[in-house]
Copies of this chain bind each other. A is one copy, B any other.
């Protein structure tokens, strides 16, 4: 095969004729331009150039095959012809590099917030925006943790708590404590190795990781990074192309995933304005193309346009037909849907609002938990499903509250991304250890030796569903022009 010279590629740099280099391969993406979920502009910025650095962090490795026809591949680049353009470092980037150099020792991380504080400094603005953003006014994003603080403890004393055991089983698989790593997309934005870092940390802590559909690493990479006997679950965004969906599910099962978590709260991804604002950061306003307005909507929406909006209860039968993994619905938000999930034979449900990234002002998982547990109990359905909660878990006591109210385990996502982005695998391991320590201390102070000892009467939830004190609406309040008094002038 003849190699293509970089000089040749460079000629094809217009909307009408657009080539790019990715991982040493040259592609003609002219026809693909209008279909790119991330918008035309981001590709045109790379037209005639090596796009690898821009491509990598937000695309799973195998996505090219999924989207480009074979004929788009034109050949290999001639490596000798490549001229490295050292991107001029901005002031902001220099500052970030300094911050990375001066970050605190890992041992100084005392809680999950410390990791988030460091991550907010060491991540690129784009990665931070993608990871940290929530829908609309981010009220649900913050409510998720706040809701835990409307739950107060009623600790018991004078109980021998010398021997604490916090292990449990999730869908029959052992977990060293009642927590799993939930699926989050685009791990390579935060760490060059991506999600496999979480895989390794999960192994060393004997907990389960849920592999995301939108992983930066391939299923293969993650599967190969597993330790001996390590359990993985698989999170699925249903593709509107049923063949792709089937392929994805069966491949996950084949590679050893033990449960299928279908995301049901995202027929469309929510509007995450922090993420959406990112594209304007460096662009001078005048060059923006108004016509592209509706396409350029941040990383989140760019990678999600394939999601099937028609997913419904009847599809569950089909899922049963293509896999023998237990099926869990992720994103249940009402008792009504919890009942349906049981009636349709699901093995578990995750009470979740997608980390506050979907419908703003939807309730937190922890708030929904008593509604679901009591409702299912009343109908004799409680023993038919395992119930998990995610969203807002930051402290060991948050986990204890979920357990007290009937959750089997909780999922945790962002905080581990922050730990990974700041300190790699050691960071994730320390974050998990901090949570474990907090859970152990909390159990001692509650007077509980095992998870089964943590009873509903140990928490006061009288005000859990009270929504009087909403998280602050920053946009609304910051645009409000305060009344001012008349005073003497000096």
* A interface residues, Cβ below 8 angstroms from B: 95, 98-100, 102-111, 113-114, 116-118, 120-122, 128, 132, 136-139, 142, 145-146, 148-162, 264-265, 267-268, 270-271, 273-274, 276-277, 280, 285-286, 288, 290, 293, 309-313, 315, 329, 331-334, 336-337, 340, 358-363, 394-395, 397, 437-438, 441-442, 444-446, 460, 462-463, 465-470, 473-476, 478-490
Cα–Cα, bound, A290→B433 (Å): 13
Shortest Cβ distance from A395 into B: residue: B136
Which of B150, B156, B312 meets A337, CB within 8 Å?
B156
Shortest Cβ distance from A280 into B: residue: B108
Cα–Cα, bound, A315→B162 (Å): 15
Residues of B within 8 A of A397 (CB): 136, 359-361
Shortest Cβ distance from A426 into B: residue: B290
Residues of B within 8 A of A161 (CB): 267-268, 309-310
Which of B102, B132, B137, B480 meets A481, CB within 8 Å?
B132
Which of B136, B150, B157, B334 meets A329, CB within 8 Å?
B157
Given contacts A268-B441, A360-B397, A469-B468, contact A485 B481 (CB under 8 A): no
Residues of B within 8 A of A334 (CB): 154-156
Shortest Cβ distance from A285 into B: residue: B105
Residues of B within 8 A of A153 (CB): 333, 359, 361-363
Residues of B within 8 A of A288 (CB): 105, 107-108
Shortest Cβ distance from A150 into B: residue: B467
Residues of B within 8 A of A359 (CB): 153, 155, 397, 442, 445-446
Residues of B within 8 A of A132 (CB): 481
Shortest Cβ distance from A438 into B: residue: B271
Residues of B within 8 A of A146 (CB): 470, 473, 476
Residues of B within 8 A of A151 (CB): 361
Cα–Cα, bound, A313→B447 (Å): 12
Q: Are B441 and A336 in contact (CB under 8 A)?
A: no
Q: Are B462 and A467 in contact (CB under 8 A)?
A: yes
Given contacts A312-B160, A361-B152, A468-B468, contact A117 B267 (CB under 8 A): no
Per CB-CB distance, the 10 closest pairs between chain A and chain B, nearest first, are A105-B285, A359-B445, A117-B485, A99-B488, A113-B475, A157-B264, A160-B310, A162-B309, A149-B470, A153-B362
Residues of B within 8 A of A121 (CB): 487-488
Shortest Cβ distance from A418 into B: residue: B479
Instruction: Tell me the smallest distance from the CB of A367 to a CB of chain B, in Å.
Output: 9
Q: Are A332 and B118 in contact (CB under 8 A)?
A: no
Q: Are A145 and B267 in contact (CB under 8 A)?
A: no
Given contacts A155-B265, A157-B331, A265-B445, 13 further A-B contacts (CB under 8 A): A98-B490, A99-B490, A104-B280, A107-B288, A121-B488, A152-B467, A157-B337, A158-B311, A160-B311, A267-B445, A268-B445, A361-B397, A469-B469
Q: Are B117 and A476 in contact (CB under 8 A)?
A: no
Which of B137, B333, B462 meets A157, CB within 8 Å?
B333
Cα–Cα, bound, A445→B445 (Å): 41
Residues of B within 8 A of A466 (CB): 462-463, 468
Q: Are A333 and B155 in contact (CB under 8 A)?
A: yes
Cα–Cα, bound, A109→B277 (Å): 9
Cα–Cα, bound, A489→B286 (Å): 14
Given contacts A114-B485, A158-B313, A264-B158, contact A468 B463 (CB under 8 A): yes
Cα–Cα, bound, A360→B466 (Å): 21
Which of B274, B441, B482, B488 meets A271, CB within 8 Å?
B441
